[in-house]
């Protein structure tokens, strides 16, 4: 949700429904559907795995798109009173099962994409791909119609330290202009504890990795960032037929300088 705009992923429909609030009433504005470029849409229901909205832009992840099902992210922009696909992103080193697009987070000119199925540090240890929007200069070829306004450029790939097999780093993301929080979820058969990591941006590079969770915690189920605060919401822990606990923890990064 962003201001008067909200995008909702449809369950097993390969659609994202867009609503806009007008005079206090939420009205259906558009239905985004999985592009024909993505293979076998009738069998793969991953379009809308993740959705984020900011201003006149909607980012939709599809972790099984592409010729080899390695995943893709679609960026839609609102132009001339309609939503159009403005960019399509895929991992430069994508492979089947990487899950690129399983999580997305958009803030200003920064975009984070989770790929929890990559295997740099063990099977499905996970990673996060970072992109930056770069505007096209005014001296571009003016014969091109419509004139491009910019492009999403890949800037960095993050993999967690102290990782393990099936950690699925990048399965949850939260992003502001200067703070990124990435979570990872343990495999149900893995005895290791999941962790969350905070990164801060120094120029074009994301650095200063900080562990947010503590041993024994069963989080993160989801993470978000608002200004200088990071929020990590633990999983629901089920025992018998009731929920044992639900907590919300907040962190503020300690900047030095």
CATH number at residue 189: 2.130.10.130
8 A C-beta contact, residue 15 and residue 47: yes
pLDDT digits (tens, 9 = 90+) for 134-156: 887 544 444 444 445 688 999 99
Domain that holds residue 207: 5-215
Is residue 234 one of the residues assigned to a domain?
no
Structure tokens belonging to residue 105: 């987070």
CA pair distance 159, 235, nearest whole angstrom: 22
Quick one: average pLDDT of 188-195?
Answer: 56
Whole-number Å distance between alpha carbons of 170 and 114:
4
As given in the structure block, the two tokens for residue 18 are 């867009």
Domain contains 127: yes
In this structure, is residue 101 part of a structural domain? Answer: yes
Is residue 244 situated within a structural domain? no
Q: Which residues lie closer than 8 Å to 55 by C-beta, 6 or more apart?
A: 2, 3
Check: pTM over 0.85? Answer yes or no.
no
Longest dimension (CA), the chain: 66
Q: Is residue 250 part of a domain?
A: no
Average pLDDT in the 162-184 region? Answer: 82
Please state, for a pLDDT cut of 70, what percent of the chain lies above it.
67
Inside any domain, residue 239:
no
Domain-embedded: residue 36: yes
- Model pLDDT, residue 157: 95
Q: How confident is the model at residue 70 (pLDDT cuts 50, 70, 90)?
A: confident
Number of domains in the chain: 1
Confirm whether 211 is domain-assigned: yes
- The C-alpha atoms of residue 116 and residue 172 are separated, in whole angstroms, by 9
């Amino acid at each position: 949700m962003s201001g008067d705009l909200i995008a909702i992923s449809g369950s097993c429909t390969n659609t994202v429904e867009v609503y806009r609030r007008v005079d206090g009433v939420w009205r259906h504005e558009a239905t985004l559907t999985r592009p024909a470029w993505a293979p076998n849409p009738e069998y793969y229901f991953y379009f809308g795995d993740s959705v984020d909205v900011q201003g006149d832009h909607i980012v939709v992840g599809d972790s099984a798109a592409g010729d080899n099902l390695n995943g893709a992210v679609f960026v839609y922009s609102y132009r001339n009173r309609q939503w159009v696909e403005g960019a399509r992103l895929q991992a430069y080193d994508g492979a089947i099962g990487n899950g690129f697009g399983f999580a997305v987070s958009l803030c200003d000119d920064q975009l984070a994409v989770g790929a929890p199925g990559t295997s740099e540090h063990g099977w499905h240890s996970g990673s996060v791909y970072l992109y930056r929007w770069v505007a096209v200069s005014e001296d571009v070829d003016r014969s091109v119609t419509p004139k491009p306004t910019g492009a999403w450029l890949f800037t960095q790939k993050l993999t967690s330290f102290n990782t393990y097999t099936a950690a699925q780093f990048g399965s949850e993301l939260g992003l502001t202009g200067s703070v990124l929080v990435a979570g990872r979820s343990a495999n149900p058969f893995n005895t290791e504890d999941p962790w969350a990591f905070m990164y801060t941006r120094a120029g074009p590079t994301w650095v200063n990795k900080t562990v947010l969770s503590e041993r024994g915690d069963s989080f993160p189920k989801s993470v978000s960032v608002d200004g200088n605060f990071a929020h990590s919401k633990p999983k629901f822990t089920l025992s018998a037929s009731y929920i044992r606990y639900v907590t919300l923890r907040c962190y503020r990064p300690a900047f030095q300088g």
